Structure 1
Amino acid sequence: MNVLLTGASGFLGRHIAAALADAGHRVLRVSRRHGVDAGQMRTPQDWRALLDGVDAVVNAIGIIGQTRRQRFAVLHTEAPLALFQASQQAGVRRVVQISALGADASACSAFLSSKRAADDGLRRLPLDWFVLRPALVYGEGGASAAAALRLAALPWIPVVGRGEQMLQPVHVGDVVASVLRCLAADAAGLTLDLVGPEAFTCAQWLRRLRQAQGLAPARLLCVPEPLVLGLAALGRGMHPMLRPENIRMLQRGCTADAGPLERFLRRPLRPAAPEGLRLPVATRSAA
């Protein structure tokens, strides 16, 4: 198949592009690094020339924090909706949208709401669509995984409150496998939560990452939520993750039933075993 992949230079995009190529697909990579700024692609006409000869579209555009030039409303909603509409006009039937777990009626942040708006718009179009909603994704090349590894390696492991927020991390390999399965599946029109087989508290997850690095156990440094929110507000310009809204999303938790994903992939999900958690070690210099 000829597959147009947006967000191709990001963490998920790079893994998806490699897997598509390995599977024999021709990949048209779209990102600023590849010469296309999605922030300027806000009408169906902007996308039409890129869709000539394309059989399927995978949208992996995503930012975790806004900047002056990169806005949720544009990159998560306006540009993808324009792409989906252009796909319909160009006769491209299969579209895979990579959203986020929590992008539903209970969306608690601008990040999640902007993802949900694109999801809802895609569902309304007469296309063979899939909406994939990953939880926290870990694996080689992931900036969030690298940051978590660095936190876990500190002499005291810092957590928000008592670190009881629930996570259900999913390995990037299972996310990629889901995309490939979407392209091959007979039936479409599916919204699927992408989660790992096991849920952890934030503290448990960081301890698992510490163990995977071969480090001795360490105590938790419990930081009150108001202090964390205040520090995040002060540091919002230093790193995209340092935003109060991201802390609030963490506090909400991020879990779902893993059964539908296992049935979709027709195999067990990848466990958070030490050998898998070591994958991001090479990431620490690239994050």
Structure 2
Amino acid sequence: MKILLTGASGFIGGHILRALQTAGHEVVPITRHHGVDFTHMLTPEAWLPYLKGVDAVINSVGIIAETRGQTFAALHYHAPAALFRACVMTGVLRVVQISALGADANAFTPYQLSKQAADEVLRKLPLEWFVLRPSLVYGTGGASMAMFQRMANLPVIPLIGSGTQRIQPVHVSDVVATVLQCLSVASSRRTVDVVGAAPLTFVAWLQTLRRTAGKPPALTLRIPLSLIMASAQVMRFLIPLLHPDNVRMLQHGNTADVQPLAAFLGRMPLSVEEGLCCI
């Protein structure tokens, strides 16, 4: 197949790119490195030249925090919506949208809401669409993974409040496998939550990272949420992952039923222990 892949130089997109090439697909990568600025691709007409001869589209563009030149509205909503409409105009039927867990009726941050807005545009179009909603994605090259590993390796692990927030990390290989499955299955127009085998607490996640690195369990230090939120107002400029909205999303939890994904893949996704062995 000839596949247009946006975000091909990102963490998830890079893994998808390599998997598509290994599978023998021809990939049209859409990144700044390939001369395409996603922030300028805000009309269907802008996408038409890139869709010639394309059989399927995968949108993996995503940012975790806004900058002066990159906004959630442009990258998560306007550009993807224009791309999806261009697919209708050119007859490209199969579209895979990589959204985010939490981009649903309960979305409450600009990140989630912008993803949800694009998802809704896609769902209303006459396309063979898939909306994939990954939880926290980890694996080689992931920025969040690197930050969590640094936290886990500290002599005393700092926690946000109690550290009992529920998360369900999914290995990037399972995200890639889900994308590839979307390209081959007959039934479409599906929303799939892409999560790890089982939920765990935030503190258990950090201790597991530590154990995988060959270190013994560490003492933990509970930092009041109010202090974390106050610090995040400043730290977000140094570490975008520490934006207050991201802290709020962590507090809210990030889990889903794994069985629909397991049925879609024909197997269970990796457990955290299995996934960390792949890194």
TM-score bracket, normalised by the shorter chain, equals over 0.9
Shift of residue 276, structure 1, vs aligned partner: 3.0
Q: Which runs of 5+ in 2 are unaligned?
A: none
The answer on whether the counterparts of 1:229 and 1:247 sit within 8 Å (CA) in structure 2 is yes
Alignment partner, residue 77 of structure 1: 77
Give the secondary-structure state (helix, strand or coil) at the position aligned to 2:241.
coil
The answer on whether the counterparts of 1:213 and 1:278 sit within 8 Å (CA) in structure 2 is no
Shift of residue 279, structure 1, vs aligned partner: 4.5
Rounded to whole Å, the distance in 1 between the matches of 2:21 and 2:101 is 27
What is the aligned length? 279
Kindly provide the amino acid, as one letter, of the partner of residue 212 in structure 2.
A
Deviates more, 1:227-236 or 1:92-101: 227-236
Q: How does 1:133-212 map to 2 (within 5 A)?
A: 133-212=133-212
Give the secondary-structure state (helix, strand or coil) at the position aligned to 2:101.
coil
Alignment partner, residue 51 of structure 2: 51
Alignment partner, residue 131 of structure 1: 131
Kindly provide the amino acid, as one letter, of the partner of residue 127 in structure 2.
L
Q: How does 1:1-287 map to 2 (within 5 A)?
A: 1-273=1-273, 276-280=275-279
Rounded to whole Å, the distance in 1 between the matches of 2:130 and 2:254 is 20
Rounded to whole Å, the distance in 2 between the matches of 1:279 and 1:147 is 18
Shift of residue 268, structure 1, vs aligned partner: 2.0
Deviates more, 1:23-32 or 1:122-131: 23-32
Rounded to whole Å, the distance in 2 between the matches of 1:233 and 1:28 is 39
Rounded to whole Å, the distance in 1 between the matches of 2:200 and 2:268 is 18
User: Could you list the per-position Cα deviations for residues 58-100 of structure 1 after superposition, in whole angstroms to 9, with x for gaps in the alignment?
Assistant: 0000000001100000000000000000011010000000000
- The sequence identity of aligned pairs, in percent, is 53
Kindly provide the amino acid, as one letter, of the partner of residue 124 in structure 1.
K
Give the secondary-structure state (helix, strand or coil) at the position aligned to 2:4.
strand
Q: CA RMSD in A?
A: 0.8
Rounded to whole Å, the distance in 1 between the matches of 2:176 and 2:68 is 31
Kindly provide the amino acid, as one letter, of the partner of residue 2 in structure 1.
K
Dislocated runs of 4+, deviation >3 Å: none
User: Could you list the per-position Cα deviations for residues 234-259 of structure 1 after superposition, in whole angstroms to 9, with x for gaps in the alignment?
Assistant: 12211211211110001000000000
Rounded to whole Å, the distance in 2 between the matches of 1:211 and 1:270 is 17
Kindly provide the amino acid, as one letter, of the partner of residue 165 in structure 2.
Q
Rounded to whole Å, the distance in 2 between the matches of 1:220 and 1:198 is 23
Give the secondary-structure state (helix, strand or coil) at the position aligned to 1:122.
helix
Kindly provide the amino acid, as one letter, of the partner of residue 143 in structure 1.
A
Rounded to whole Å, the distance in 2 between the matches of 1:269 and 1:134 is 12
User: Could you list the per-position Cα deviations for residues 112-143 of structure 1 after superposition, in whole angstroms to 9, with x for gaps in the alignment?
Assistant: 00000000000000000000000000111111
Kindly provide the amino acid, as one letter, of the partner of residue 76 in structure 1.
H
Kindly provide the amino acid, as one letter, of the partner of residue 277 in structure 1.
L
Rounded to whole Å, the distance in 1 between the matches of 2:275 and 2:118 is 32
TM-score w.r.t. structure 1 length? 0.96
Rounded to whole Å, the distance in 2 between the matches of 1:167 and 1:108 is 17
